[in-house]
Amino acid sequence: MNGVEEHHSDDLITPNDSVTAETSAAAADGAILVEDLLKKCHDLLNELDQFRTFVAENNRQNAVEIRQFQNSILSELKSLEKVYRLHIE
């Protein structure tokens, strides 16, 4: 041969029901994962609010800086919400 592979019609991959079912299952698994991560983000933000209240009540605001960490979590939460909206559309 001249280095060029020949392709036969038997070699072509075509979509079938099992591939479609696997894709649907993967999308459902992805949606479940995103929902779980969204819940964890919300829980973590609630815990940070409680911690911030505790720190303020004990006059230790200057000793603990959580704003940057909280902003990072909020940024991840927004990204996850976008992914979730894409899965449910």
pLDDT digits (tens, 9 = 90+) for 8-46: 445 554 555 555 666 677 777 888 888 999 999 999 999
Domain boundaries, the chain: 36-89
Q: Residue ranges of the alpha helices (H) in 1-89?
A: 17-57, 67-88
Q: Tell me how many degrees the CA angle 40-23-12 measures, rounded to the nearest 5.
A: 150
pLDDT digits (tens, 9 = 90+) for 36-50: 999 999 999 999 999
Residue 46, token pair as written in the block: 């609630």
Task: Specify the pTM.
Answer: 0.63
